[in-house]
Amino acid sequence: CGVFGVVGVTDAANFVALGLHALQHRGQEAGGIVSHSSDVGFSSVRRFGYVRDNFTRASLMETLPGPLAIGHVRYSTAGSKAAAIRDVQPFFGEFSMGGAAIAHNGNITNANALRRELIERGSIFQSSSDSECIIHLMARSLQRDIPSRMEDALRRVEGAFSIVAMTRTKLIGVRDPLGVRPLVLGKVGDSGWALSSETCGLDIIGATYVREIEPGEMVVITENGGIESSHPFRKASSRFCIFEHVYFSRPDSIIGNRSVYETRRQIGVELAREAPVDADLVCAVPDSGTPAAIGFAHESGIPFGMGIIRNQYMGRTFIEPTEQIRNMGVRLKLNVNRALIEGKRVILVDDSVVRGTTSRKIKEMVLDAGAAEVHFRIASPPTSWPCFYGVDTPQREKLLAATMSEEEMTRHLGVDSLKFVSLDGLYRAVGQAEGRNNKCPQYCDACFSGEYPVKPADMIEQGFEM
Ligand code: 5GP
Ligand code: SF4
Ligand code: MG
């Protein structure tokens, strides 16, 4: 998911709509904005579909007035997949000291247990979303102000959360102690502030990047521009999601002072060193494989070409929730540039193999177009474990790498060769010259290593074996 918030500007919802549009790659199912103005109080609009189709300038001014607003773009990881509008964020709660709205990116790993407890004690849930627990925990807190109630609530929550929240007068940003999901702070004009999942959301509104919200940090920003920072949680060493670098974030975003594009290009360089192959052409599976393919071509000296062309009007295939749509998706989205590929030995670079749907289809298309050989090079290690922290990887049984060895996958996909970058190669590409520190890994890499930095309590209860 993507979260965004602005305070201290005229018509904040306009800025939020733009910010969410820049974060649309983080969730395409639905989006919502809540604003507050002193005249009308809180306003909320939540809709299925793209931001650009639901939040037009004219409609925003009327329906979402005020100098303070937050928003969310949704990609379902927890909660029901047959998404209902009641699951679309931001969520809103009315407390004795006024209302508050929250937008959550991540996944709460003890949400089932919390929900059971809260329902037993009288909470009435409106949605199937894990994030709604936070509102109910806030309602039960005895603290006198909303930021302190949020602290109370979040101390009971396990898992990953990057949250943008608002009261009548304050914009709040928080990250979980491990800082699994991103969140950055920007300055808008002289007195305004913005919070965004990624820096590309700041760029679109002309905000200046200030810094990341730190793991375990909470910032509270007032309408007149004051900002307070605190660290309400027990200290832990940070475990940012390494897959944000590989796939999830936009390549024009900056994470931890590193360009995501440059990191991805560097993964391609590592791949070319680790798994060279004699071939005529390096092609990307666009768009997610493009920077790594450029790095691979550069390092290997084999020319880069656009052998696969993407239809710009399709969304990310993976994010479509049902299997059937996803199967169709590949062909709707990608086509082969036959004139370039015919007769060539082709290296195809993609960011990841999850179910293997994409790679299988692409291999067929490339062979149909007359390629002499097809070699897959993957810019992440084999995805063999599900993510419980906000990326929608399927159950283990559906992950190709969970059930097959590299040789078996090569045969299953019917390609001449298939190689994945090593975990150490990936760590080198994100700037860890020594590779992965196996005693205390610098990132979350559970989907590749099976080492979960936060115990997935709900899943273990449902029989998941680590
Ligand atoms: P597959 O077709 O193997 O199931 O999925 C791999 C493709 O899905 C890749 O091209 C990758 O870009 C894309 N992808 C999209 N979202 C995700 C995600 O959340 N996790 C992973 N691992 N890959 C994703
Ligand atoms: Fe990111 Fe993978 Fe960890 Fe999920 S399991 S947070 S996708 S590194
Ligand atoms: Mg892709």
Helix (H/G/I), strand (E/B), else coil: 112 = helix
Ligand (nearest to CA of 319): 1
User: Annotation-wise, does 440 bind a ligand?
Assistant: no
Tally the domains of the chain: 2
**Domain match, 117 and 221 both:** yes
pLDDT at residue 368 greater than cutoff 80 = yes
Q: What's the pLDDT at 8?
A: 96
Whether 182 maps to a domain, the answer reads: yes
- For Cα atoms 16, 66, 49, give the angle at the middle one, nearest 5 degrees: 35
User: Annotation-wise, does 283 bind a ligand?
Assistant: no
* CA of residue 145 to ligand 2 center, whole Å: 33
Q: Residue whose CA is closest, atom 1 of ligand 2?
A: 241
Q: What is the pTM of this model?
A: 0.95
Query: Binning pLDDT at 50, 70 and 90, where does residue 375 land?
Result: very high
How far apart are the C-alpha atoms of 358 and 368, rounded to whole Å?
A: 15
Q: What's the pLDDT at 57?
A: 78
**Domain match, 372 and 275 both:** yes
Ligand (nearest to CA of 361): 1
* CA of residue 395 to ligand 2 center, whole Å: 14
Whether 461 maps to a domain, the answer reads: no
User: Annotation-wise, does 387 bind a ligand?
Assistant: yes
| Best CA proximity match to 341, nearest among 384, 280, 401 | 280
Q: Residue whose CA is closest, atom 8 of ligand 2?
A: 445
Index of the ligand 2 atom closest to the CA of residue 446: 5
User: Annotation-wise, does 200 bind a ligand?
Assistant: no
Q: What is the pLDDT of residues 188-225, one digit of tens each?
A: 999 899 999 999 999 999 999 999 999 999 999 998 88
Q: Which range, of 207-216, 328-337, 402-411, 429-438, averages the lowest pLDDT?
A: 328-337
Q: What's the pLDDT at 322?
A: 66
Index of the ligand 2 atom closest to the CA of residue 388: 4
| Best CA proximity match to 134, nearest among 314, 229, 155, 210 | 155
**Domain match, 154 and 273 both:** no
Whether 439 maps to a domain, the answer reads: no
How far apart are the C-alpha atoms of 189 and 201, rounded to whole Å?
A: 15
Q: What is the pLDDT of residues 422-441, one digit of tens each?
A: 999 999 999 999 999 999 99
User: Annotation-wise, does 241 bind a ligand?
Assistant: yes
Q: What's the pLDDT at 312?
A: 81
**Domain match, 112 and 234 both:** yes
Q: What's the pLDDT at 56?
A: 85
How far apart are the C-alpha atoms of 1 and 17, rounded to whole Å?
A: 15
Is residue 180 within 6 Å of ligand 2 at its C-beta?
yes
Whether 258 maps to a domain, the answer reads: no
Ligand (nearest to CA of 310): 3
Query: Binning pLDDT at 50, 70 and 90, where does residue 342 land?
Result: very high
**Domain match, 362 and 415 both:** yes
Which structure tokens are listed for 462? 């449902």
Which of 193, 223, 238 is a domain's end point?
Answer: 238
* CA of residue 241 to ligand 2 center, whole Å: 5
Catalytic annotation present for 440:
no
pLDDT at residue 116 greater than cutoff 60 = yes
8 Å CB contact between 270 and 428: yes
Is residue 423 within 6 Å of ligand 2 at its C-beta?
no
pLDDT at residue 12 greater than cutoff 80 = yes
8 Å CB contact between 163 and 105: yes
**C-beta contacts of 204-208 below 8 A and 24+ residues apart:** 204/18, 204/19, 204/21, 204/22, 205/6, 205/15, 205/18, 205/19
Whether 252 maps to a domain, the answer reads: no
Q: Which range, of 98-107, 264-273, 352-361, averages the lowest pLDDT?
A: 352-361
Non-local (6+) Cβ contacts of 75 within 8 A are 1, 26, 27, 28, 29, 319, 392
* Peptide bond preceding 368 in cis form (omega within 30 of 0): no
How far apart are the C-alpha atoms of 80 and 52, rounded to whole Å?
A: 24
Q: Residue whose CA is closest, atom 9 of ligand 1?
A: 352
State the ipTM, two decimals. Answer: 0.94
How far apart are the C-alpha atoms of 104 and 161, rounded to whole Å?
A: 6
Is residue 388 within 6 Å of ligand 2 at its C-beta?
no
**Domain match, 195 and 298 both:** no
Whether 42 maps to a domain, the answer reads: yes
Which structure tokens are listed for 334? 């990608």
Pocket test for ligand 2, best of 352, 354, 389 (most atoms within 8 A of CB): 389
| Best CA proximity match to 277, nearest among 373, 187, 397 | 373
Whether 177 maps to a domain, the answer reads: yes
By 3-state DSSP, what share of the chain in percent is helix, strand and coil, each rounded to 5? 35, 25, 40
Output the ligand 1 site: residues, CB below 6 A. Answer: 247, 285, 288, 316, 318, 350-359, 383, 391-393
**Domain match, 234 and 269 both:** no
Pocket test for ligand 1, best of 316, 352, 415 (most atoms within 8 A of CB): 352
**Domain match, 279 and 390 both:** yes
**Domain match, 232 and 269 both:** no
**Domain match, 306 and 225 both:** no
How far apart are the C-alpha atoms of 74 and 436, rounded to whole Å?
A: 32
Mode of pairing for the β-strands spanning 345-350 and 373-378: parallel
pLDDT at residue 161 greater than cutoff 70 = yes
8 Å CB contact between 358 and 317: yes
**Domain match, 319 and 206 both:** no
Q: What's the pLDDT at 152?
A: 98
Q: What's the pLDDT at 305?
A: 98
* CA of residue 401 to ligand 3 center, whole Å: 17
Q: What's the pLDDT at 393?
A: 83
Which one of 1, 133, 200, 283 is the catalytic residue?
1
Instruction: Give the domain extent around 333.
Output: 264-431
Q: What's the pLDDT at 325?
A: 63
* CA of residue 429 to ligand 3 center, whole Å: 19
**Domain match, 85 and 215 both:** yes
Quick count: other Cβ atoms within 10 Å of Cβ 427?
Answer: 22
Question: Where are the extended beta strands (E) located within 254-411?
Answer: 254-255, 258-259, 281-284, 308-310, 334-336, 345-350, 373-378
Residue scoring higher pLDDT (313 or 80): 313
Whether 393 maps to a domain, the answer reads: yes
Can you give the CATH number for the domain in which 356 is found?
3.40.50.2020
* CA of residue 290 to ligand 3 center, whole Å: 9
| Best CA proximity match to 17, nearest among 93, 62, 73 | 73
Index of the ligand 1 atom closest to the CA of residue 355: 4
Can you give the CATH number for the domain in which 162 is found?
3.60.20.10
